Structure 1
Amino acid sequence: MKTIKGPGIFLAQFVGSDPPFNSLDGMCEWAAKLGYKGIQIPTWEAHLIDIDKAAESQTYCDELKGKVNSYGLEITELSTHLQGQLVAVHPAYDVMFDGFAPESVRNNSKARTEWAIEFVKKSGTASKRLGLKSHATFSGALLWPTVYPWPQRPNGLVDMGFEELAKRWMPILDHFDEQGVDVCYELHPGEDLHDGITFERFLEATGNHTRANILYDPSHFILQQLDYLRFIDYYHDRIKAFHVKDAEFNATGKQGVYGGYADWKDRAGRFRSLGDGQVDFNGIFSKLTTYGCDVWAVMEWECCVKASGQGAREGAPFIQKHIIEAAERSFDDFAGGETDKEQLKNILGI
């Protein structure tokens, strides 16, 4: 067993134009005062990290890490959720996802994909320079528009989709392997990797690549009505990152999983602040600890009801309360001791 590290916080949802949310120093001081011990850094926020410099300069990375450490914090992971999304974009989403890309590659899907692949690879190099072992990202999606098959999918479409997705990610996975860093896909609706079955298909398409792993986030499984506790039983050896995020699902006579295009506050499935939803975090922390998952417990805050400031204040003590100090000995080991075979024979009558 292994004690989960934390509490950590994903900075993406709190970045802003006003202090303290407009600088790395400001956000570190803010997070530390709230009781967090780690920060997950979104790489698309250039005022928090310069990935080009981080990929090229050990000095820059040492200074960045030193700055974070000076506030009593550690970097848990870097995140390329937005850039990972751009590794694979179905044409139906070209216009909407172009906003995540620099102007130089907009309206050019091939150039945008190449840029995204290189950016994620740079983030792998930066992760190594920062001494990190895991990296958070999205897979992107070529098949998502066909997730509910009407019209029926042509034979071979899904196989081809996963083959192409793997083809795009293999250079990234190989690069991360050279850096000694795991790629952790957040399994998320809208991504081709959104549950256990899709992750397995991708894993098979990559030849069971050792660096293809999972960022476990139970909130997305609540919204899909997936057994998120049994998921850990199946995939614990691939869970290398952890978002602590709550959600609830309350089906009505008018809507279910798909939500009827309603705003988040009006949906049957909604993300909530920690402790306000339905996720069994006691069960999750127990399983992850029992299986020895070496992860940071990082809060990702997304709630349509509670203010972000309150969510951030409540997050650190909530996570700390759930972290289990892994037992170093069995509660009944007073009956243990050296093995005495003759004694055992006497007990068994043999």
Structure 2
Amino acid sequence: MKQIKGPGIFLAQFASDDIPFSNLDDICKWAAGLGFKAIQIPSWDARFFDLNQAAQDTSYCDEILKKVASYGLSISELSTHLQGQLVAVHPAYNEMFDGFAPEHVKNNPVARQEWAVEQMMWAATASKQLGLNAHATFSGALLWHTFYPWPQRPAGLVEQGFAELAKRWLPILDAFDAAGVDVCYELHPGEDLHDGVTFERFLKAVNDHPRANILYDPSHFILQQLDYLAFIDIYHERIKAFHVKDAEFNATGRAGVYGGYESWVDRPGRFRSLGDGQIDFNAIFSKLTAYGYEGWAVMEWECCIKHPLDGAAEGAKFIEQHIIRPTDKAFDDFAGGAADVEFNNKVLGLS
């Protein structure tokens, strides 16, 4: 068994134009002061990181690593959640997802997708040059508007949708394979990859590509009422990244899984700060440790009630307290002995 690394923190939800959240030095100092050991960097945020330069210039990557290390931190992963989303966008979402794109490709879906693919290619190279072995992203979606089958989905629609998604991602997965980096899709409502079944569909469509893996985030599973512990038993070999995020689901007589278009605070399913929700993290950390997960445990803060600074301070301690140091011996070793073929034959009645 291996020990999970952590605690780490995803910087995206904390980034702002206010110090200490406006530049890499200050946010690293802040995160380290709370007890975090790693940062997950949103690669689209120029206040922290220049993805283009990182892909072109190894000295820039060395400078970033040196700067982060000066605060006692590591980089857990780069994130391309926004760029990955734009690899596949259904036209119904064009206007809303244009907000994820730079000005020069807005209102131009073809150029926007090309930009997103280029960003992913850069992320593969940058991750390699930073010495990383995992990468966090979204899959995008062509089918999400049909997730509830009314009207009835046309025959073959789902298969065609996943075939097209695979076609778009295969060159990216190959680039990450060449870089020696796993692509870890955060399985998330709004993405075509949002649960185990859809991940399996995608995996089949990309011919079981070795770099097609999972960013495990149980908060998205409890909101879908999916068994997030059984998920680990099924997919542990593909879990290569981990967002530690809490959530709760409290169905009422008025709303359930779909939420009734309510604001987050009024939805039956909602994200909470670590320890304030319903997720059994003792069981999660135990399962991941038993299965040999050796990546980072990274806090993603998205609570609809608690202040983010309180959530971050509590989250570092929460993760640290849940990381298990694996045992190096069996608890009953004291009662055993060395292997003895003759003695074992006697126990088996074979002598």
One fold, TM greater than 0.5?
Answer: yes
Q: Which residue identity lines up with residue 242 of structure 1 in the other structure?
A: F
Structure 1 distance, partners of 2:308, 2:77, is 21
- Equivalent residues in 2 for 1:311-350, closer than 5 Å: 311-350=311-350
CA positional deviation for 1:339 = 1.4
SS at match of 1:215: strand
Summarize deviations over 1:201-242 as a string: whole Å, max 9, x none.
000000000000000000000000000000000000000000
User: Which structure 1 residue ranges, 4+ long, deviate > 4 Å from structure 2?
Assistant: none
**TM-score with structure 2 setting the length:** 0.99
Query: What one-letter code is carried by the residue in structure 2 that aligns with 1:250?
Result: N
Q: Equivalences for 1:82-101 in 2 at 5 Å?
A: 82-101=82-101
Matches within 5 A, 1:113-132: 113-132=113-132
Partners of 1:137 and 1:153 lie apart in 2 by 28
Q: Name the SS for the 1:276 alignment partner.
A: coil
Identify the residue that residue 44 of structure 1 maps to in structure 2: 44
In 1, distance between residues paired with 2:225 and 2:250? 11
Aligned to 1:73: 73
Shift of 1:34: 0.1
Q: Give 3-state SS (helix, strand or coil) of 2:158's partner.
A: helix
Q: Percent identity over the alignment?
A: 71
- Correspondence for 1:275: 275
Aligned partners of 1:337, 1:22: CA distance in 2, in Å? 60
Task: State the AA in 2 paired with 1:293.
Answer: Y
Give the superposed CA RMSD. 0.7
Following the alignment from structure 2 to structure 1, what is the Cα–Cα distance between the partners of residues 53 and 337? 56
How many angstroms apart in 2 are the aligned matches of 1:347 and 1:103? 76
Aligned-residue offset at 1:99? 1.0
The Cα offsets for residues 160-212 of structure 1, whole Å up to 9 and x where unpaired, read as 00000000000100000000000000000000000000000000000000000
SS at match of 1:224: coil
Question: How far apart are residue 140 of structure 1 and its match?
Answer: 0.2
Aligned to 2:223, what secondary structure does the other structure show? helix
Q: 1:30 — aligned with what?
A: 30
Equivalent positions of 1:1-350 (< 5 A) are: 1-350=1-350
Q: Give, in angstroms, the shift of residue 328 of structure 1.
A: 1.1
The one-letter amino acid of 2:204's match is E
Q: How many residues align?
A: 350
1:9-30 CA distance string (max 9 Å, x none):
0000000111100000000000
Secondary structure in structure 1 of the residue aligned to 2:174: helix
Q: For the residues of structure 2 that align with 1:334 and 1:57, how far apart are their CA atoms? A: 55
Measured in 2, the distance between the counterparts of 1:288 and 1:347 equals 36
Q: Tell me which amino acid in the other structure corresponds to 1:167.
A: K
Q: TM-score, normalised by structure 1?
A: 0.99
Which blocks of at least 5 consecutive residues in structure 1 are unaligned? none
Q: 1:348 Cα shift?
A: 2.6
CA–CA separation in structure 2 for the residues paired with 1:348 and 1:311: 57
How far apart, CA to CA, are the structure 1 residues paired with 2:248 and 2:21?
28
Return the alpha-carbon distance in structure 2 between the equivalents of residues 264 and 335 of structure 1: 55
> SS in structure 2 opposite 1:9?
strand
Distance in 2 separating the partners of 1:114 and 1:333: 59
Q: CA deviation at 1:347?
A: 2.5
Report deviation, 1:153.
0.7
